[in-house]
Structure 1
Amino acid sequence: MDNHHKSNKSIYFLMLLVPLFWGGSFSTAAHVISEIPPLVAATIRFALAGIILTIIICVRKKWDLSIWKKNWKGLLLISLTGIFGYNALFFWALHYTSAINGSLIIATMPLFVSIGAILLFGEPWSGKLGFSLMFSLLGVFVVITRGSFNSLLSLSFNLGDLLFLAALFCGVAYSLVGKKVIRDASPLFTTAIMTLLGSCFLAISSLPSGGWDKVPYMSVQSWFEMGYMVIGGTLIGYVIFNLGVQRIGASQASIYLNLTPIVTSLLSVLLYDADMTWSLLLGLAFVLTGVCLANISIRKKAEGKSPASVKS
């Protein structure tokens, strides 16, 4: 087994860092946006990450403008969907609907990404992939509803839910288009471009509502939390996710996203004195089962091929 095949196997473990950092970003963002507006916070987060990535690329002399010339339309699209569209619509929707409604809608993203990847890119479908999606989705529902079906029955839908559906569309589009865009490009370079462009769009959208005058008065805690979002949630999270889409496909990579609300809930228990409940533990078990089934499925397929035939 060559080094390339080994690196493909290691991506399954690296992908676990994505929900860890993204779930943590949700928890830390809750405090940051209590001091500055959400769009301002998102702009600072992605602008700082883009600047740091640009410096790293320049130092390593990996800045390749030919990739931009070749894929500028795709890079622009994933910036509009994965950074600007998803974040702007997500926070806008929370003004009109509940977090439960939004979480249930966003939780269906891996399912739609898998369907899109199968229809558009010919990614293989298997019974194990179907079971992994079912277990993961069930686990997310158990956590979000806290094991109470009354929570589902009492849901009402409004403008905010339509905005969450738009955010869902942006997330799916980002995952699917990103597969094609980063196929021949460095995930580091791709992430740098999309965060820089996305932060520009976020900055423009933040101007009408204002709030930039509050930034100098942010607390030390908020700046530490911002640093966590920049380094963990963006620099590490997005680079690894883009690498995962490149190595194992959009449908497999998206299944890991179901761990994000689980991580958010666990961090709330550890850091913010939330209660540990049976529904959280049960949901975690379901989601982990789904992720393990997905990994077993794709690893068996990869091992069934010769090392030279494993796709990058």
Structure 2
Amino acid sequence: MTQQSSSHIGIHLRLIGMAILWGTSWAWGRVVAQHMPPITGSTYRFIIASLSLLIWLYSVDRFKSIRDLTAKQWLGLIGTGATGIFAYSLFFMTALQWLPAGKASAVIALNPAFTLLLAAWLFKEKLNLQILLGIGLAIFGSLYAISQGNPLKFLSGNVGLGEYLLLGCVLSWVSYTLIGRAVIGGIPALTATTVGTCVGAILLFITSIFVDGAEGWQRAIHAPFVAHFSAIGMALGATTLAFSWFFNGVKTLGAGNAAAYIALVPVFGILISALWLGEPLHSSLIIGVPLAITGMMIMNKGQKK
């Protein structure tokens, strides 16, 4: 085995680790949401994540890339922090107060599907038949899993608050991706992630003061060990470490090949939630999630064409 192929095996293994960490983040988030106010819990997570990312960025380029940012790039990064960190976290943590983590993780399939549709509309990116087929499968499979086998519930309005909050997660993440696509091109990925995370953490902290107040932070401080472990796991594992593995994968294998591993996130999310939290495996998950994963894989192959 050559040194290059051996190195690539390590990259693939780290991308699997990334999918495991991102899948576990739904179970971690469920635990935090049961013991801390959602906004305060999210603030706690992203303060830790911001500090670790700042240390990482300083060790790499001594903040030179931040000093070189233009006003337009700063505006774009503030937009990514407001959507992908602040808004997404509010929807994410609040939804996990209402829904099982395994069921909620099925929403991952909607992110690339809606991103591709809006990118085609806004940026005139081309869609082929294979991409459209993948989008259809991903959307149907994800909604099938979230709605417990009846996607038409979303059209009739016969769904709960938790399901609508999950759709808020999707809209936040799609906005984050498209803002990045439009505004922050040319910024190193680590710099963009660090600044966006810090912006989101500041917005979350300000909101937590007004909404949860000192009582919310007291509740967070006195939460059980498992809640603190879960918040730190989301911060250091699902944010800092997983993003570093993803960036390395993109650099070595290309964005499409690295992004394909995201299809594994709902699988690990469901399995870990079932094993750790004892969540039941509803039949809609067993049918919907494989359909959603297949759709994501078809989309990825279609984009390569």
Same fold by TM (over 0.5)?
yes
Question: Of 235, 238, 256, which aligns to 2:240?
Answer: 235
Asked whether 1:49 is paired with 2:54, we answer no
Question: What residue number does 1:115 align with?
Answer: 117
TM score, norm. by length of structure 1? 0.75
TM score, norm. by length of structure 2? 0.76
Asked whether 1:28 is paired with 2:33, we answer no
Taking the TM superposition and a 5 Å limit, the aligned residue runs for 1:268-287 are 268-287=273-292
- Secondary structure of 2:69's counterpart equals helix
Asked whether 1:225 is paired with 2:230, we answer yes
Question: Contact 2:104 / 2:146 at 8 angstroms: preserved in 1?
Answer: no
Offset from partner CA, 1:260-312 (integer Å, 9 cap, x none) = 5443322221212233354333223212322322233334x3xxxxxxxxxxx
Question: Of 114, 126, 129, which aligns to 2:128?
Answer: 126
The 1:11/1:69 distance shift into structure 2, 3 A limit, reads farther
CA distance in 1, matches of 2:159, 2:281: 29
CA distance in 1, matches of 2:138, 2:17: 17
Question: What residue number does 2:197 align with?
Answer: 195
Shift of 1:33: 2.4
Amino acid paired to 2:195 = I
Amino acid paired to 1:44 = Y
**RMSD value over aligned CA atoms?**
3.9
CA distance in 1, matches of 2:83, 2:205: 15
Amino acid paired to 1:34 = Q
Asked whether 1:172 is paired with 2:177, we answer no
Q: Is there any run of 5+ residues in structure 1 with no aligned partner, and where?
A: 1-6, 302-312
CA distance in 1, matches of 2:137, 2:293: 8
Question: Of 271, 292, 300, which aligns to 1:266?
Answer: 271
Shift of 1:26: 1.7
Amino acid paired to 1:172 = V
Shift of 1:94: 7.3
Question: What residue number does 1:214 align with?
Answer: 219
Q: Which moved more, 1:207-216 or 1:197-206?
A: 207-216
Question: Contact 2:263 / 2:297 at 8 angstroms: preserved in 1?
Answer: no
Question: What residue number does 1:3 align with?
Answer: none
Taking the TM superposition and a 5 Å limit, the aligned residue runs for 1:68-79 are 68-70=69-71, 71-79=73-81
Question: Contact 2:274 / 2:281 at 8 angstroms: preserved in 1?
Answer: yes
CA distance in 1, matches of 2:266, 2:249: 19
The 1:115/1:149 distance shift into structure 2, 3 A limit, reads closer
Amino acid paired to 1:297 = G
Question: Of 183, 186, 205, which aligns to 1:184?
Answer: 186
CA distance in 1, matches of 2:50, 2:108: 25
- Secondary structure of 1:170's counterpart equals helix
Question: What residue number does 1:308 align with?
Answer: none
The 1:201/1:242 distance shift into structure 2, 3 A limit, reads farther
- Secondary structure of 2:186's counterpart equals coil
The 1:241/1:117 distance shift into structure 2, 3 A limit, reads farther
CA distance in 2, matches of 1:103, 1:155: 21
Amino acid paired to 2:33 = I
Amino acid paired to 1:65 = I
CA distance in 1, matches of 2:147, 2:267: 12
Shift of 1:233: 1.8
The 1:165/1:28 distance shift into structure 2, 3 A limit, reads closer
Amino acid paired to 1:69 = T
Q: Is there any run of 5+ residues in structure 2 with no aligned partner, and where?
A: 1-6
Taking the TM superposition and a 5 Å limit, the aligned residue runs for 1:135-154 are 135-148=137-150
CA distance in 1, matches of 2:52, 2:43: 14
- Secondary structure of 2:280's counterpart equals coil
Amino acid paired to 2:50 = G
Question: What residue number does 1:290 align with?
Answer: 295
Question: Contact 2:189 / 2:247 at 8 angstroms: preserved in 1?
Answer: yes
Offset from partner CA, 1:80-119 (integer Å, 9 cap, x none) = 1111122224445778x87899889886443331122122
Question: Contact 2:142 / 2:292 at 8 angstroms: preserved in 1?
Answer: yes
CA distance in 1, matches of 2:113, 2:290: 19
Question: Contact 2:119 / 2:125 at 8 angstroms: preserved in 1?
Answer: yes
Shift of 1:164: 6.0
The 1:26/1:161 distance shift into structure 2, 3 A limit, reads closer
Amino acid paired to 2:114 = F
The 1:242/1:107 distance shift into structure 2, 3 A limit, reads same
Indicate the percent of aligned positions where both proteins have the same amino acid.
Answer: 28
